[in-house]
Amino acid sequence: MSGKDRFLGLDSSTQSLSAVLVDLDGAEVVAEASVNFEHDLAEYNCPQGVLPNANPLVKHSDPLMWAAALDALLTRMRDTGVDFSRLAGISGSGQQHGTVYLKHGFLARRNRSAAPDLAAAVRPFLSRRTSPIWMDSSTGEECAEITHAVGGPEEMQRRSGSPAVERFSGPQIRKFWKEATDSYEDTSVIHLVSSFMASLLTGVSAPIDFGDGAGMNLMNLADGAWDPILCAATAPGLAEKLPELVPSDTIVGPVSAYFVERYGVPPDTPVVVWSGDNPNSLIGVGGWAPGTPVISLGTSDTFFAAMREPRVDPQGYGHVFGNPAGGFMSLICFKNGALAREAVRDRFGLDWAGFETLLARTPPGNNGNMMLPYFIPEITPLVLEAGPVYVGTDEFREGRDAPAVVRAVIEAQAARLRLHSEWIEGRPTAVRVTGGGAANTGICRILADMFGVLVQRLDVGNSAALGAAMRAAQAVSGVSWQELSRKFAEPAPGGDVLPTPEIVRLYEADFLPKYRTLAGVK
């Protein structure tokens, strides 16, 4: 590999831009770095990565912040001694569904060369000043309109792999067209977060990979092309504004001269097409082959699994995306993940050690106390008005029983992960768990008992960025997914959590049926 044996994975998530640099020959992560949007780029006024809005259903971000973060992150890495000269390839991950709207002339060489930084290069070419992101729930009307135009929810799912979903790109684009028609007409290209960031790296308008494209309500799942009926139902002339769709191992091109001159990246460094955070995480946790689903306990909680065939959720909450390793992947997303756990933690003035201590004080089943953990509007199931629901003793419902409230939020989250994933073919024999919550043994124990299977914890701090680095290595060097998983995505030694048979029986016989009724899961 001519001395170049390192691959850089980037992850533009809701709250930060992170990097993982792997050494393929040494099978190790040699550098990690992150830029937090709220703290490191406070001038963009995006607490937790989201612009304030009086309407709780509207969740947008500033695309200039994402561009500025790329400069800030690479500057931080360069200044702390990261040597980019051995770089053999780059790829990345973007929060899914978010869209960036750009005028004609974006990335023209004369405009880039005149700009002092990436944000300045992008600013004049935004046809829409803000970017709707995955947390947005304001497009219910547009979802209904698209679904009606296509021929109903079953036809919508058959074509795109998902029902029309408020946070997906298609409904967001339709809302923009309806509310700002002139600005829509002035838009030359609509990028996803992933393809936007890849475009910045290469200096050309980057394509969208099948994995991320499937999360737009615009791609035909069967043939991997923009669906003319879906596009026509969304907005006029839309297909002409969308980038090309390509396989996940496509090399977009070499890195642009900007990064060569400013950061010392080798001029021939290939950039592999970026994908969404969930497809990248599937790779980063070694879940690329069917059989072992993955639960990511992050800002949102997600359940995802590789699939051979594109099965769809009959209730319409689960989704089907492309698997970067080939085939398909299922995904179920719950907005009330870490935000709900943090709300309970903060309510009782706890740190995470205290949270786990209180969790251990209550018995499985929580003496009948249950919660619907809707601290923010939810998408699985669709709940537009925030507000947790408490069912149980007076002390619990009034919030005076801290241990019961702590257990209630975790049991509720574990139960909904189990119940809403039953449509995926085959009962798992093990579940891999990653994300911040994976460090909490009490949470993992409840997951093991709720699913009735072994939980394997992964010592992966940033699975999306790691997955992006692994994808870059596979596309550029041809190393197999098996070998990459062995090198970088093995479960943490000593991290397995086994289910307890009597607790599994209690959950199966008593808790899960009651929770199914309370939550209205069919």
Q: Could you report the per-residue pLDDT of 214-244, keeping only the tens digit for each? A: 999 999 998 999 999 999 999 999 999 999 9
- In terms of domains, do 327 and 224 share one? no
CA-based max dimension of the chain: 69
| Cβ contacts of 406 within 8 Å, gap of 6 or more | 344, 348, 350, 355, 358, 359, 362
Confidence bin at 114 (pLDDT 50/70/90): low
Structural domain including 156 reads 6-278
Confidence bin at 113 (pLDDT 50/70/90): low
Q: Which of 226, 244, 278 is the last residue in one of the domains?
A: 278
| Cβ contacts of 116 within 8 Å, gap of 6 or more | none
Encoded tokens for 255: 């890195």
| Tally of structural domains, the chain | 2
Evaluate whether residue 485 is within a structural domain: no
Q: Which of 222, 252, 278 is the last residue in one of the domains?
A: 278
DSSP secondary structure string for all residues of 412-454: HHHHHHHHTTTTSSS--SEEEEESGGGG-HHHHHHHHHHHTSE
Evaluate whether residue 349 is within a structural domain: yes
- In terms of domains, do 330 and 206 share one? no
Confidence bin at 301 (pLDDT 50/70/90): very high
Evaluate whether residue 166 is within a structural domain: yes
- In terms of domains, do 370 and 227 share one? no
- What is the average pLDDT value for the chain, to the nearest integer? 94
Evaluate whether residue 163 is within a structural domain: yes
- In terms of domains, do 358 and 232 share one? no
- In terms of domains, do 320 and 187 share one? no
β-sheet bridge partners, residue 294: 304, 432
Evaluate whether residue 475 is within a structural domain: no
Peptide bond into 63 cis (omega under 30): no
Region 377-394: what's the mean pLDDT? Answer: 92
- In terms of domains, do 349 and 433 share one? yes
- In terms of domains, do 241 and 318 share one? no
- In terms of domains, do 219 and 356 share one? no
- In terms of domains, do 254 and 296 share one? no
Task: Decide: 122 and 63 in contact? Cβ < 8 Å.
Answer: yes
Evaluate whether residue 471 is within a structural domain: no
Evaluate whether residue 468 is within a structural domain: no
- In terms of domains, do 267 and 295 share one? no
- In terms of domains, do 367 and 438 share one? yes
* Whole-structure pTM value: 0.85
Whole-number Å distance between alpha carbons of 213 and 227: 11
Encoded tokens for 35: 């830029």
Q: Which of 223, 257, 278 is the last residue in one of the domains?
A: 278
> Residue 129 pLDDT > 60, yes or no?
yes
Q: Are strands 301-307 and 328-334 parallel, antiparallel or unpaired?
A: antiparallel
CATH number for the domain that contains residue 253: 3.30.420.40
Encoded tokens for 411: 């049991």
> Residue 274 pLDDT > 90, yes or no?
yes
Evaluate whether residue 133 is within a structural domain: yes
- In terms of domains, do 208 and 344 share one? no
